[in-house]
Amino acid sequence: MAKTIAPYPGHTQFVFSTPLYSKFEISDEQVEEIFVHGVTIEGYCTKCEKDRVFKNKGDSRAALVSGLSGTKIKSEETVVFSCAFDPQHKIYVLPILDNGVIQKCGQLPSYAELLLAEDADLIKELDKKDRVEYAKAVGLAAHDAGIGAYAYLRRIFENLVYSQYEANKASNSWAEADFYKMRMSEKIQFLKNYLPPLLVQNSAAYGILSDGLHNLTEDDCLSFFPILRSGTLLILQQAREMKEQKKLEQQFTASINSKPKPKGSE
């Protein structure tokens, strides 16, 4: 069965969040923005190691045919986006445009490189095995292998949720059998006091995690991958903040206990 062609998601998402070979229906105006006038986008610069503004200048040769309907323009030219902070930092994208459909057929740095560089700091919170699997998940998503990417990332996400259950079950006298029978969205609600609020507020979105892989298509898995990645990063961010909070509390307690007591206070 042929894939349904989705509407163009916008220039920023096309460059920074779209795997190779993804196809989108694109309007005349959007075509002219990219190929004629140039656009400004914002995303992670792997050289600056932070979010930056990027710009491309458009193409005067494309302007020569802009009198045609934009959807009739055919182009296989690389579009170059330069970092506003340092123009030597560039992102190269090869979009193939034909009859109102745009497809990303090449990118440097790659989709996988951009995501792994952006996520690198938080991924340190994972153990070594899960860091390897995270890289595999992103690499597979970058090459349109949705089911494989989803399977790796789902396992990591579920492990992070389950770790909160295991860490708190004794103090709450939770029944393990009841918890593991729940759907994932129900598990997230059950652990609402131990998971990031934004994740809990959108727990219904994770109902798909309760489905077996045999029920999901490549498109299902690819479309859910960015949501699952965001949820994973939210949990890792919370884990880091909790560690930092505990460290501050320990330092405070140690400093109080080490301070000499005034005479006569005992």
pLDDT in tens, 172-214: 989 888 899 999 999 999 999 999 988 899 888 888 888 877 8
> Tokens 């498109």 appear where?
219
Q: What is the pLDDT of residue 19?
A: 83
Query: Which of the pair, 36 or 235, is modelled with greater confidence?
Result: 235
Range among 30-39, 68-77, 187-196 rated most confident? 187-196
CA distance 143 to 8: 19
Confidence tier at 137 by pLDDT (50, 70, 90): very high
Q: How far apart are CA 259 and CA 91, in angstroms?
A: 55
Length in residues, the chain: 266
DSSP states along the chain: -PPPPEEP--HHHHHHS--TT-EEE--HHHHHIIIII--EEEEEETTTTEEEEEE----HHHHHTTTS-GGG--B-PPEEEEESS-TT-EEEEEEEEETTEEEEEEEES-HHHHHHHHHHHHHTTS-HHHHHHHHHHHHHHHTT-HHHHHHHHHHHHHHHHHHHHHHHHHHHT--HHHHHHS-HHHHHHHTTTTS-HHHHHTGGGGGGGGS-GGG--HHHHHHHHHHHHHHHHHHHHHHHHHHHHHHHHHHHHHHHHHSPPPTT--
| pTM assigned to the model | 0.76
61-65, 80-84, 239-243, 251-255: least confident range: 61-65
User: When comparing pLDDT for 254 and 85, which is higher?
Assistant: 85
The pLDDT value given to residue 213: 79
Exposure of 194 in the CB half-sphere (CA atoms within 13 A):
16
pLDDT of 261 reads 66
Q: What is the mean pLDDT of the chain?
A: 85
- Cβ atoms of 24 and 102 within 8 Å: the answer is yes
Q: Indicate whether 42 pLDDT > 50.
A: yes
Kindly indicate the confidence band of residue 140, based on its pLDDT and cuts at 50, 70 and 90. Answer: very high
Break the chain into its structural domains and give their ranges. Answer: 6-109, 119-252
In the predicted model, what is the mean pLDDT of residues 59-88?
A: 67
Mean pLDDT, rounded, for 212-218:
83
For 101-133, the pLDDT digits (tens) are 888 888 999 889 999 999 999 999 999 999 999
Give pLDDT, residue 250.
87
**Token representation of residue 162:** 């389950």
> Is the pLDDT at 136 greater than 90, yes or no?
yes
The pLDDT of residue 91 is above 60: yes
- Sheet holding 79-83: strands in order across? 6-7, 23-25, 101-108, 90-98, 79-83, 50-55, 40-45
